[in-house]
Structure 1
Amino acid sequence: MPFFDLSDVKLWFDEYGTGDEVVLSSAAGFDTYPAVLADGPTNCHVFTLQARGFGRSTHLTAPPEQGWLDQWADDVLAFADHLGLERFVYTGVSHGGGIGWHLARRHPERLKALISVVGTPHDRNGDTSSSAGRRAIVESRKNADVIENQFRVLGGSTDTPERTAIREKTIATLVRRHLDYSDEEARINQGMPFPEATSDEELATILRTIDVPVLILAGMRDGVISPESALRAARSVPRAKAVLFEDEGHFVASERPERLVAEIAVYLGELNS
């Protein structure tokens, strides 16, 4: 069974490809990304680790003492140690990206690069306990209408019948997933990355301390990770590179992963040259 055993939990993982570039990713669950990085043109060796609290990984009745994002980051490092990896590329989508930012700040020596997909730290307005959308989903107690409305805000607009059909399928899948959550899963609220930063200026100060090559992939129509947050990270993090898609929203990794793969192939080529 593909479980990684820690002293207190078991974490489910999957493995894809056999390439030389090792990529780790962690999240509540996965769609096609980042498994597609195992194929051409990137040809990576990909491991996806289901975050503690979700799915086939051990569920928790209370949040970790150190907070969800720091705990999930530590779990990724423990998994990397288990694999014998001194350094690796980390990629994450949305909250999975948040895990990567915490890794980059706390353990930069372990990351060859961070690839953040719609996952730059949120804009700040004083309250960093959660994004408004995540808080509404948690507080709804699995109310289908509330969950669907929040996902419609996240995704942004679509501009063709074909893309609208894909969006409807994406939202239906996400709503079903959340309605199927256990009570423990439904209560998880990881909060914003770097919650001690309560203003955009404080957040930029933290971002300037991150000493890891970072690729930022973001959507201009994202309803939760604003273009401004992506640009803030791109301006603040030394050696950062940002690609912003005008016609994408928060679900680009599910809806058009091939666009991400094309940019990542270029970036890995630059990184390794």
Structure 2
Amino acid sequence: MEANKIKGESKSIVLSNGVELTYCERGETHTEIMVCGAFYFHTAMPLVEKLAERYHVYGIVMRFDGEASEKNADGTIHWGRQWGKDIYDFVQSMGIKRFHYFGKCHGTVPGWYFVKEHPEMLLSFSSFFLAPHVRPQNSNHWFELLSGNDTTEMMRVAMKKPEGLKAKMEEMAAIGDNASNPAIPQYAASPEKLWESKEKCEKALKTLSVPIGYLFGSEDPLFDDYLDSNLFAIRNTKGAHTVILEGERHLMELDEPDRVVREVFSFIDGI
């Protein structure tokens, strides 16, 4: 059980395939459900708590090990699809039929899995700080920062408020070194890999039926790393709602959780 990846009360469930998933549950008095996937819920918990003021929120930890049914042709695990399949199995086990999905960065990948495989289950999808990448990458600043040795510099670029650094460092100490896992760069920033080709992903963006909300920060290095793809998604995702917040960086859920949640609610209210 990966309880250390959740700050506060956590639960677990054993799926029919024997895999154990750790999750948090907030806002149980609400009837409308929102599902969130993430590698961990520490500095993101204020955001979860604010979402739970309006929704019954399930925050599910995306795993890196255990039994896997989603494989590549060479037999290796397709973690992008596996994260989506895990959450599908979770909502099935819970008897959840339809829900809103919220994902931030890597947490968007299961949402895109549902867009592709089970769109009828999604009431809406808040795909924040990340869109599928169907155009060539512009730069690699974000992952260079992640793989570097200067954690303080990476955090400075990632957040506006210096006081957030202490909380982020405490989070990293609690969860361990996720950045060394090859699933991080290979699948976490690449929801387009859920499709057989970028061309098929592009076609899906232009024809999808799920309400999609995009949010980006103007000073997020990951936004610039995939600038051409992000602009393409903004302009070509059918019916998309898009907001670019001036001055916000990649960890805006830590800097400005209220601002992020306001954009979630604004998007859903406008559907």
TM-score of the pair, normalised by structure 2:
0.76
Contact map agreement 2:213 2:267 (CA 8 A) in 1: yes
What is the letter of the counterpart of residue 225 of structure 1? F
What is the letter of the counterpart of residue 256 of structure 1? E
CA distance in 1, matches of 2:155, 2:132: 19
2:183 aligns with 188
Q: Quick one: structure 1 residues 101 and 181, their matched pair in 2 at CA, closer, same or farther if it must change by over 3 Å?
A: same
1:56 aligns with none
What is the letter of the counterpart of residue 214 of structure 2? I
Q: Quick one: structure 1 residues 252 and 224, their matched pair in 2 at CA, closer, same or farther if it must change by over 3 Å?
A: same
Residue deviations 1:66-117, cap 9 Å, x none?
5111111111111111121211100011000122122212221111110011
Residue deviations 1:37-57, cap 9 Å, x none?
012xxx11000010122xxxx
2:12 aligns with 3
Residue deviations 1:15-64, cap 9 Å, x none?
1002122000111012222332012xxx11000010122xxxxx349995
Count of matched residue pairs:
245
2:216 aligns with 218
CA distance in 2, matches of 1:37, 1:84: 21
Identity, % of aligned positions: 26
Confirm whether residue 89 of structure 1 aligns to residue 100 of structure 2.
yes
CA distance in 2, matches of 1:64, 1:149: 36
Contact map agreement 2:108 2:191 (CA 8 A) in 1: no
2:123 aligns with 112
1:102 aligns with 113
Q: 3-state SS of the aligned residue for 1:81? A: helix
CA distance in 2, matches of 1:126, 1:217: 19
Q: How far apart are 1:269 and its partner, in Å?
A: 2.4
Root mean square deviation of aligned Cα: 3.2
1:154-173, aligned counterparts within 5 Å?
A: 155=158, 158=160, 163-166=161-164, 168-169=165-166, 171-173=168-170
1:12 aligns with 22
Q: Quick one: structure 1 residues 122 and 150, their matched pair in 2 at CA, closer, same or farther if it must change by over 3 Å?
A: farther
2:75 aligns with none
CA distance in 2, matches of 1:147, 1:99: 28
TM-score of the pair, normalised by structure 1:
0.76
Q: 3-state SS of the aligned residue for 2:162? A: helix
Bigger shift: residues 222-231 or 255-264: 222-231
Gaps of 5+ in 1: 54-58
2:84 aligns with 73
Q: 3-state SS of the aligned residue for 1:268? A: helix
1:1-273, aligned counterparts within 5 Å?
A: 2-6=11-15, 7-17=17-27, 18-30=29-41, 31-32=44-45, 33-39=47-53, 43-53=54-64, 59-60=65-66, 65-66=71-72, 67-122=78-133, 124-125=135-136, 133-134=142-143, 137=146, 145=149, 147-153=151-157, 155=158, 158=160, 163-166=161-164, 168-169=165-166, 171-173=168-170, 175-176=172-173, 180-181=176-177, 186-189=181-184, 190-191=186-187, 192-195=190-193, 204-226=202-224, 228-271=228-271
Q: 3-state SS of the aligned residue for 1:65? A: coil
What is the letter of the counterpart of residue 120 of structure 1? A
Contact map agreement 1:37 1:261 (CA 8 A) in 2: yes
Q: 3-state SS of the aligned residue for 2:13? A: strand
What is the letter of the counterpart of residue 169 of structure 1? K
CA distance in 2, matches of 1:122, 1:152: 26
CA distance in 2, matches of 1:255, 1:132: 21
What is the letter of the counterpart of residue 237 of structure 2? V
CA distance in 2, matches of 1:252, 1:105: 27
What is the letter of the counterpart of residue 172 of structure 1? M
What is the letter of the counterpart of residue 12 of structure 1? T
What is the letter of the counterpart of residue 87 of structure 2? V
